[in-house]
């Protein structure tokens, strides 16, 4: 199949796709949408930034358009669960674009916002409820939502929900859902625990996998810089200063570390903001909007943002601290090179993070090219010839460039030709 019209979607959906400029489905959409339209449960595995939201959103909206009747008060016909507030809002925005010219209603339920406002919205009933598990449980306990009419369930980024300890909440929610129902589970990684989850929630699912779990998008150029921890602040500023107009996402491991790093950058004159768990929802929304608009150029974040930022113009992802969970590295760097664009991911690795890097490379089945410093990993002391490899066929000449000079990370190449918007 080569265009959306060949997928057999409702005319209203084809019109919506044309309005927003989408004509050809991505590989995950091309494979998952027909199966979901037929009513199958679907287990979808694809890299971040490849269109998973439309892969489940299109067939979901198509089914609801064909179902007669308005939802009863406090009920919903479909439920989408996601691990973070940012991801919930992103999914809801995409679905509202698809349902703009229909009578379908999309409602969000997340923590950090007025629960009374959410209660009032649910009192009218909704066609699609997009929620984080924690706040949904709160509303269930208060009997302000009835999930017995749900006939479509989507678990997006289910692996992170497991990482965040939502498994008991998922079980409690599932027990309240209507049957029979269609369930779709989508993610970029497939840890063993999620396989067990899929067996518990999916019935005879069709598995759709467009890339090996843990593989980064082909258009992401990766590199790692080895350094002592005290050298990280100076190296970060050096890289940022090479292209002050680029949108750069910097990941720190802790909330305190992210805030401290952001304040230091602002004090040094960089246009930076931060998002993490200690920020209110309003603060997080404003920071992401400013970053999306280009009024903030550097966004410092913890992993709370790794699966909730869908901004096509992010040029660089810098792993200031390596994540403790290897899967999170894949999701972090997936914030760049979205929607077919190119991007660059630079990792800082201090001596005490060497094992984290080793686990990341084992997961991805690739050795990240070294752009500076000396690798402490076993067997890497004389492995320069192996460092030239780039994932996804983006190999460079040995040494990274002309005259055998080392490849310098970021900021001096191709980016300006992309014509990224500044506002």
User: What are the structural domain ranges in the chain?
Assistant: 4-209, 220-395
Per-residue confidence band for 216, with pLDDT thresholds at 50, 70 and 90: low
| Cα dist from 274 to 83, 224, 250, 323, 387, whole Å | 19, 23, 9, 17, 33
Please enumerate in sequence order all residues whose Cβ is within 8 A of that of 71, keeping only pairs 6 or more positions apart, or say none. 77, 105, 125, 126, 127, 149
Of the candidate CATH numbers 3.20.10.10, 2.40.50.140, 3.30.1330.40, 3.40.50.300, the domain formed by 4-209 belongs to 3.40.50.300
Please tell me the pTM assigned to this model: 0.68
Give yes or no for a contact between 302 and 320, defined as CB atoms under 8 angstroms apart: no
Give yes or no for a contact between 326 and 360, defined as CB atoms under 8 angstroms apart: yes
Parallel, antiparallel, or unpaired: how do β-strands 370-372 and 220-226 relate?
A: parallel
Q: Is the pLDDT of residue 402 over 70?
A: no
Average pLDDT over the chain, rounded to an integer: 84
Q: Which CATH architecture has domain 220-395?
A: 3-Layer(aba) Sandwich (3.40)
**Distance separating alpha carbons of residues 336 and 333, to the nearest angstrom:** 6
**Per-residue confidence (pLDDT) for residue 214, from 0 to 100:** 53
Please enumerate in sequence order all residues whose Cβ is within 8 A of that of 114, keeping only pairs 6 or more positions apart, or say none. none
Mean pLDDT across the stretch 172-194?
Answer: 86
Q: Is the pLDDT of residue 152 over 90?
A: yes
Q: State pLDDT tens for residues 235-254.
A: 999 999 999 999 999 999 99
DSSP 402-423: GGGPPPPPSSSSSGGGG-----
What angle do the packed helices 85-98 and 52-66 form, to 10 degrees? 50
Both tokens assigned to 401: 């460039």
**Per-residue confidence (pLDDT) for residue 157, from 0 to 100:** 84
Per-residue confidence band for 385, with pLDDT thresholds at 50, 70 and 90: very low
Beta bridge partners of 300: 250, 274
Q: State pLDDT tens for residues 339-382.
A: 567 889 999 999 999 999 999 999 888 899 999 998 887 554 43
Both tokens assigned to 290: 């400013």
Per-residue confidence band for 155, with pLDDT thresholds at 50, 70 and 90: very high
Q: State pLDDT tens for residues 95-146.
A: 999 999 899 999 999 988 899 999 999 999 999 999 999 999 999 999 999 9
């Amino acid at each position: 199949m080569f265009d959306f019209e060949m997928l057999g979607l409702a005319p209203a959906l084809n019109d919506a796709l044309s309005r927003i400029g989408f004509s050809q489905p991505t590989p995950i959409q091309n494979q998952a949408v027909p199966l979901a339209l037929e009513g199958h449960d679907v287990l979808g595995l694809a890299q971040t930034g490849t269109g998973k939201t439309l892969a489940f959103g299109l067939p979901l909206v198509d089914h609801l358009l064909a179902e007669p009747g308005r939802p009863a008060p406090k009920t919903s016909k479909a439920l989408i669960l996601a691990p973070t507030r940012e991801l919930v809002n992103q999914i809801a925005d995409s679905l509202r674009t698809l349902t703009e010219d229909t009578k379908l209603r999309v409602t969000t339920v997340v923590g950090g916002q007025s629960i009374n406002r959410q209660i009032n919205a649910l009192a009218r009933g909704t066609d699609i409820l997009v929620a984080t598990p924690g706040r949904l449980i709160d509303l269930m306990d208060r009997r302000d939502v009835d999930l017995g009419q749900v006939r479509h369930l989507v678990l997006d980024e289910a692996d992170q929900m497991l990482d965040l300890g939502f498994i008991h909440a998922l079980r409690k929610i599932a027990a309240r859902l209507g049957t029979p129902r269609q369930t779709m589970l989508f993610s970029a990684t497939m840890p063993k625990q999620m396989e067990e989850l899929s067996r518990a929630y999916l019935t005879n699912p069709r598995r759709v996998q467009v890339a090996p779990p843990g593989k980064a998008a082909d258009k992401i150029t990766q590199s790692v810089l080895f350094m002592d921890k005290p050298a990280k602040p100076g190296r970060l500023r050096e890289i940022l200063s090479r292209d002050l107009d680029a949108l750069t996402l910097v990941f720190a491991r802790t909330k305190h570390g992210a805030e401290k790093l952001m304040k230091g950058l602002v004090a040094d004159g960089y246009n930076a903001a931060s998002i993490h768990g200690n920020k209110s929802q309003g603060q997080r929304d404003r920071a992401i909007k400013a970053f999306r608009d280009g009024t903030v150029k550097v966004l410092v974040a913890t992993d709370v943002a790794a699966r909730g930022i869908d901004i096509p113009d992010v040029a660089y992802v810098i792993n200031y601290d390596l994540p403790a969970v290897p899967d999170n590295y894949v999701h972090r760097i997936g914030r760049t090179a979205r929607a077919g664009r190119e991007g660059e991911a630079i990792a800082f690795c201090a001596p005490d993070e060497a094992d984290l890097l080793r686990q990341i490379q084992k997961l991805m089945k690739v050795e990240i090219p070294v752009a500076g410093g000396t690798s402490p990993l076993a067997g890497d002391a004389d492995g320069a010839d192996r460092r030239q490899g780039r994932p996804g066929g983006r190999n460079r000449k040995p040494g990274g460039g002309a005259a055998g000079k080392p490849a310098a990370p970021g900021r001096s190449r191709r980016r300006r030709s992309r014509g990224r918007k500044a506002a």
